[in-house]
Amino acid sequence: MYNVLVTKQLPGNWLNYLSNYCNITLWEKNIPPTKEWIIDNIKDKDGILVTLTEKVDKEIIDKANKLKVISTYSVGYDHIDVKYAKSKGITVTYTPEVLTDATADLIFGLLIAVSRRIVEGDKIIRAGKWDTPWYPTFMLGREVNHKTLGIIGMGRIGKAIVKRAKGFDMKIIYNSRKPHTDVDAEFVELDNLLSNSDFVVIAVDLNDSTYHLINEDRLRKMKPTAFLINASRGAVIDEKALINALKNKWIGGAALDVFEHEPVITSELFNFDNVVLTPHLGSATVETRDKMAEIAVKNLLLALRGEKPIYEI
Which sequence positions are flagged as catalytic?
Answer: 233, 262, 280
75 binds ligand DGY (CB under 6 A): yes
Determine which residue in the list 47, 141, 158, 282 makes contact with ligand DGY, applying CB under 6 A: 282
Interface region with ligand DGY, contact rule CB under 6 A, candidates 69-77, 84-92, 118-126, 152-160: 69-77
Q: Are the C-beta atoms of 178 and 205 separated by less than 8 Å?
A: no
Site for ligand DGY, residues 28 to 57, rule: CB under 6 A: 52
Interface region with ligand DGY, contact rule CB under 6 A, candidates 28-36, 68-76, 126-134, 301-309: 68-76
What secondary structure letter does DSSP report for 261? B
Cα 64 from Cα 42, distance rounded (Å): 5
71 binds ligand DGY (CB under 6 A): no
Of residues 282 and 309, the one with the C-beta less far from ligand DGY: 282
Return contacts of 14-21, CB within 8 angstroms, 24+ apart: 14/290, 14/293, 14/294, 14/296, 14/297, 15/293, 15/297, 17/297, 18/297, 18/300, 18/301, 21/301, 21/304
How far, CA to CA in Å, does 274 sit from each of 117, 132, 201?
7, 21, 16
Q: Tell me which residue of 262, 306, 295, 289 sits closest to 49, measured CA to CA.
A: 295
Residue 201, φ and ψ in degrees, nearest 5? -110, 130
202 binds ligand DGY (CB under 6 A): no
283 binds ligand DGY (CB under 6 A): yes
Determine which residue in the list 33, 47, 76, 153 makes contact with ligand DGY, applying CB under 6 A: 76
Of residues 156 and 164, the one with the C-beta less far from ligand DGY: 156
7 binds ligand DGY (CB under 6 A): no
Site for ligand DGY, residues 120 to 159, rule: CB under 6 A: none
Cα 200 from Cα 251, distance rounded (Å): 10
Residue 120 CB, nearest distance to ligand DGY (Å)?
A: 26
274 binds ligand DGY (CB under 6 A): no
Q: Are the C-beta atoms of 213 and 152 separated by less than 8 Å?
A: yes
Residue 167 CB, nearest distance to ligand DGY (Å)?
A: 24
Cα 121 from Cα 118, distance rounded (Å): 5
Of residues 52 and 303, the one with the C-beta less far from ligand DGY: 52
98 binds ligand DGY (CB under 6 A): no
Cβ atoms within 10 Å of 298's Cβ, excluding its own: 19
Determine which residue in the list 6, 10, 60, 99 makes contact with ligand DGY, applying CB under 6 A: 99
Cα 265 from Cα 270, distance rounded (Å): 9
Binding site for ligand DGY (CB under 6 A): 52, 74-76, 99, 282-283
